[in-house]
Amino acid sequence: MDIDLYKECGRIANQVPEGMVTTYGAIARALGDIRARRAVGVIMNTYDGKRTPMPCHRVVYHDGSLGGFAYGLDAKVKRLKPEGVSVKDGRIAGFEKINFSDFKTPSPKPLEKAREEQLRLAGKVSTSDVRPLPNLTLGLDVSYSGIRAYGVGILFDIGNNEPVKTIRTKAEVRFPYVPTYLGFREMPIFRKIIAKVEEPVVLMLDGNGTIHPFGLGIASHIGVELGMPSLGVAKSLLCGETESEPTRKGAAEPVRLDGKTIGHALRTSERAKPVYVSAGHRISQDSAVTIVGKVSRLKVPEPVRLAHIEATKFRKESA
């Protein structure tokens, strides 16, 4: 089942009693990963008080300073005062004494469970080519406005180097961006798009496949989950390192992590920085690089570039 991080966040935040406060990082830890601290801030800023009520005014920075508040910091102070929490010089008075972090949490915590799932699926990743490798690729991307998401798939003919069909879908996304958990955020909407495609395709994701600290970037995640060939193209590096940057168009440099090659930096355009290509599932690293090279004119390969443009259009015309 898809993870509702707003709901999980509410379960934690509602344990903070009147007269006490907590921090974005403490809630993130209770969710199962400190990496989610900024996502907690995003949730506090965007949640629907009717659907998932929680005392966002009791959440502050790690150093006792106030953090943010959608209605202005004065309003945050004003809500804390009747609860017996006062603010002096922009800091919570007696912060250490009233900093609540003793949360009751399920075991495993939500993000720990997500990570376990990730590791389990990572064990199923195959980086060998399926035969035959489809001659069609489906470029996928999504544009956001809060929890509203606008996804687009561009069905693209690799041999003829041209788009064949465009697929659009809307969805509500209740899992904010958390580094290394991108698959959990975007899988649901992409699954809806992919369900509308009949032909065999190689999925092309805006993000990584095996370039991931736990071996399961979004491309691998979706590939394994749906049993489809997939690859990832990222505009910047999530983890690992390259010895040098490829100079010539078409040149590639390995991305290595713990002594293993997990992907390649590929120069797709003379003037732009390289993109980072990695196999997702049921495809070899070589084929992933070859396909991306074939369908690239500018920095970002056409299927993903068009999906990105169309997703942004889709969001703007839906507003």
Partner DNA sequence: GCGACAG
Partner DNA sequence: ATCTTGTCGC
Binding residues vs Mg ion (CB under 5 A): 141, 206
Judging by DSSP bridges, how do beta strands 260-266 and 252-257 pair with one another? antiparallel
Task: Tell me how crowded residue 215 is: count the other CB atoms within 10 A of its CB.
Answer: 18
Considering the candidates 5, 9, 30, 56, report the single residue annotated as catalytic. 56
Backbone phi and psi for residue 80, each to the nearest 5 degrees, phi listed first: -75, -35
Q: Which residues pair with 145 in a beta bridge?
A: 148
Question: Applying CB under 7 A, which part among 66-74, 196-204, 206-214, 247-255 lies near DNA?
Answer: 206-214
Write out the binding residues for DNA, residues 214-253 only, by CB under 7 A: 217-218, 232, 234-239
Does residue 23 touch DNA according to CB under 7 A?
no
Q: Which residues pair with 276 in a beta bridge?
A: 234, 265
Q: What angle do CA 307, 313, 315 make, to 5 degrees?
A: 100
Does residue 56 touch DNA according to CB under 7 A?
no
Q: Which is nearer to DNA, 75 or 272 (CB)?
A: 272
Write out the binding residues for DNA, residues 287-316 only, by CB under 7 A: 308, 311-312, 315
Does residue 212 touch DNA according to CB under 7 A?
yes
CA distance 31 to 274: 35
Task: Please identify which residue in 13, 20, 158, 182 interacts with DNA, judged by CB under 7 A.
Answer: 182
Residue with nearest beta carbon to Mg ion:
206
CA distance 296 to 185: 26
Q: Which is nearer to Mg ion, 114 or 311 (CB)?
A: 311
DSSP state of 103: -
Choose from Mg ion, DNA, none: what does 235 bind? Cβ within 5-8 Å by kind: DNA
| Buried b / exposed e along 98-110 (16+ C-beta atoms within 10 A) | bbeeebebeeebb
Judged by DSSP in three states, 319 sits in: coil
Judging by DSSP bridges, how do beta strands 260-266 and 275-281 pair with one another? antiparallel
Q: Which is nearer to Mg ion, 100 or 144 (CB)?
A: 144
Q: Which is nearer to Mg ion, 282 or 308 (CB)?
A: 308
Q: Which is nearer to Mg ion, 118 or 143 (CB)?
A: 143
Does residue 183 touch DNA according to CB under 7 A?
yes
Does residue 177 touch DNA according to CB under 7 A?
yes
The tally of CA atoms less than 13 A away on the side-chain side of residue 25 is: 6
Task: Please identify which residue in 127, 180, 268, 287 interacts with DNA, judged by CB under 7 A.
Answer: 180
Amino acid letter, residue 228: M
Q: Which residues pair with 171 in a beta bridge?
A: 149
Least distance from DNA to the Cβ atom of residue 14, Å:
25
Question: Applying CB under 7 A, which part among 13-21, 66-74, 104-112, 201-209 lies near DNA?
Answer: 201-209
Instruction: Say if CB 66 and CB 92 are below 8 A apart.
Output: yes
Choose from Mg ion, DNA, none: what does 109 bind? Cβ within 5-8 Å by kind: none
* Binding stretches for DNA (CB under 7 A): 35, 141, 143-145, 176-177, 179-183, 206-208, 212, 217-218, 232, 234-239, 308, 311-312, 315
User: Which residues have a catalytic role annotated?
Assistant: 56
